Amino acid sequence: MKPLDPRLVKHARAARAYIILTAALGLITAVAVVGQAVLAARLVGTVASGERLADGVLGTSLAWIGMIVAVRIAATWTQERFAHRAAINTIAELRGAVLRHVVALGPRHAAEHGAAGAAALVTRGLDALDAYFARYLPQLLMVVTVTPVLLVVAGLTDWIAAAIMVVTIPLIPVFMVLIGRLTEAFSAKRLRTMTKLGAQVMDLITGLPTLQALGREKGPAARVRQLSEAHQKATFGTVRIAFMSGAALELIATLSVALVAVSVGLRLQVGGMSLVDGLTIIMIAPEVFLPLRNVGAHFHASAAGVAASEAAFDILAISPPPAGARPAPDLAHSTIVFEDVSVHAPGRDYDAPAGLGFTLRPGSLTALTGQSGAGKSTAVAVLLSLTPPDSGRVLVRGGGEDVDLREIDPDSWWRQISWAPQRPVLLPGTVLENLLELYEADAQLTPEVEAAAAAAGFDQVVAELPEGWATRIGQDGVGLSVGQRQRLALARAFLRDTPLVILDEPTAHLDQVTEQAVLDSIGRLHAAGKTVLLVAHRPALLEQAHTAVPVRSTALTGADR
């Protein structure tokens, strides 16, 4: 665990400005400490030796000391004010960077490593960086600014006291390293447990309707309770080490200052140094060790944040699949060809799909069929340029040439595609906002919106809602049934005027009457010249398709594993 990870400065601009500001405030504090110690020592030493102060010296010295104290207070206030702001901005930048990178890595990475882990990291995990920025990092920068300046001043004043400080100071970092290794293990364990707990709870919430339908909603409670107890145990273990290490570091710092004080006292007793120099050393010595003591005190509070940032940097270090730069050809006049496309199933020893080959011609109505887990949705992800194939390729034939899909700019490709997934993304807000929000349009009811809703059979849903289009729904469509959410996703797809429409099980969870309405809408899309690709199980969908493409998975051979 590095005290200041260079990757933090690289990925967060807010951290750079804050580090420069804190370093500058540290130098100001060091000069203020020296000035305060020298002025106070000369004033007290002169009075204690019985010498008469010149007229106005006392008032001037006290005024300067007051000004120096005010400067130290202002520096501390400025640092505290900008610490939390820098922490908030840095956490926001890291969250955005991780989220964008996870999206760039694609759904395959999420399936292999777990989307819940990334969700726990960018929420509660990175929140722990606040203690790192507000408490630990300022003191760490004080160590490299205040402590060296004060050691130089101490050496110019009394080399013996400075030598004692130089010898005793390394004891604190040595003990911090030894204790930090143990703390790092506990913090990493706590983060892993929190990630597992978050993933378990998210999976439980997602599957709760199914569990309730099967009467098994209380089954996962024991596992969640077990993970919660493990998280609690890891947290208290970290706290216990924090108290023990804090006491050890305080003892070392206190003994180090005591050695300096004893040395100064003995030499003052025998006349080996002046009272002014002795008082200067006595006042500087605690300030030399104070940043180190504070680093030790706040190290454990920041350990969880540092562990979370390292997990974030590990994700950012993964290279995303290269994105193409060529503009997409017009899909209204382009043919898409799957040539022996295979994708390795995450966490399993087989390909799904395996050796998939078919041709999607302009204006065609094609259905992908096959058993659950055969790779139909994965084939759609490949077509959407979200998942690269492990073998084979997807060619786009348009404009007189064949272009590999991996060479095409994803944004220009996505602008020509409408997609209705099995689990549509629904956000908190009104029904109308959810229909239009993904297209960055104003939430206004227009004839086009009403026509798209009617085509998907969603107008019947709106008519039954208590406030119609203004009805508010929750996260993931709470307030709508599964079938109603599906029809909302279909209305989104029908609203966009794109040459290619992809519908993943569009009639799932629909009754027979609504299913027929959706089938009629698909027929109208095809009649309008759209290229339609269906993922289908139901016979009615398969009967409507002109071409049915079987999708199969194949177990890998031992040599391929």
Question: What SS3 string covers 311-343?
Answer: HHHHHHCCCCCCCCCECCCCHHHCEEEEEEEEC
- Residue 368: predicted pLDDT: 92
CA atoms of 290 and 283, how far apart (whole Å) = 12
- Report residue 368 CA to chain centroid gap: 36
Same domain, 103 and 247: yes
Same domain, 294 and 438: no
What pLDDT digit, counting tens, does each position of 242-269 carry? 666 667 777 777 888 888 888 888 888 8
**Which SS3 state, helix, strand or coil, does residue 255 take?**
helix
Asked, for residue 487, whether it belongs to a domain, the answer is yes
Asked, for residue 341, whether it belongs to a domain, the answer is no
Parallel, antiparallel, or unpaired for β 391-398 and 335-342?
Answer: antiparallel
Peptide bond into 3 cis (omega under 30): no
Helical (H) or strand (E) element with 392: strand 391-398
Q: Among the three residues 257, 288, 316, which one is the final residue of a domain in this structure?
A: 316
CA atoms of 539 and 369, how far apart (whole Å) = 10
Asked, for residue 478, whether it belongs to a domain, the answer is yes
Q: Among the three residues 316, 342, 371, which one is the final residue of a domain in this structure?
A: 316
Same domain, 25 and 155: yes
Q: Whole-angstrom distance between the N-terminal and C-terminal Cα of the chain?
A: 35
Asked, for residue 273, whether it belongs to a domain, the answer is yes
Output the CA torsion sign for 276, 279, 281, 287.
negative
Output the CA torsion sign for 154, 290, 249, 276.
positive
Domain count, the chain: 2
Amino acid at site 168: T
CA atoms of 405 and 381, how far apart (whole Å) = 12
Query: Cβ(487)–Cβ(457) under 8 Å?
Result: yes
Same domain, 248 and 367: no
Domain holding 95: CATH number? 1.20.1560.10
Asked, for residue 322, whether it belongs to a domain, the answer is no
Same domain, 106 and 189: yes
- Report residue 304 CA to chain centroid gap: 14
- In the chain, which residues have pLDDT < 50? 1, 556-561
Same domain, 457 and 312: no
Domain that holds residue 134: 6-316
Parallel, antiparallel, or unpaired for β 391-398 and 401-404?
Answer: antiparallel
Query: Cβ(441)–Cβ(497) under 8 Å?
Result: no
Same domain, 311 and 367: no
CA atoms of 489 and 503, how far apart (whole Å) = 9
CA atoms of 533 and 526, how far apart (whole Å) = 10
CA atoms of 500 and 364, how far apart (whole Å) = 10
Same domain, 150 and 24: yes
Same domain, 307 and 375: no
Asked, for residue 442, whether it belongs to a domain, the answer is yes
- Residue 109: predicted pLDDT: 64
Same domain, 311 and 452: no
Same domain, 307 and 427: no
What pLDDT digit, counting tens, does each position of 69-85 carry? 898 899 888 888 888 78
10 Å Cβ neighbour count for 352?
24
Domain holding 437: CATH number? 3.40.50.300
Asked, for residue 123, whether it belongs to a domain, the answer is yes
Helices (H) and strands (E) in the chain, counts: 21, 13
CA atoms of 315 and 125, how far apart (whole Å) = 14
- Residue 559: predicted pLDDT: 42
- Residue 546: predicted pLDDT: 86
Asked, for residue 21, whether it belongs to a domain, the answer is yes
Q: Is the pTM of this model over 0.75?
A: no
Total length of the chain: 561
Q: Among the three residues 284, 316, 348, which one is the final residue of a domain in this structure?
A: 316
Same domain, 181 and 37: yes
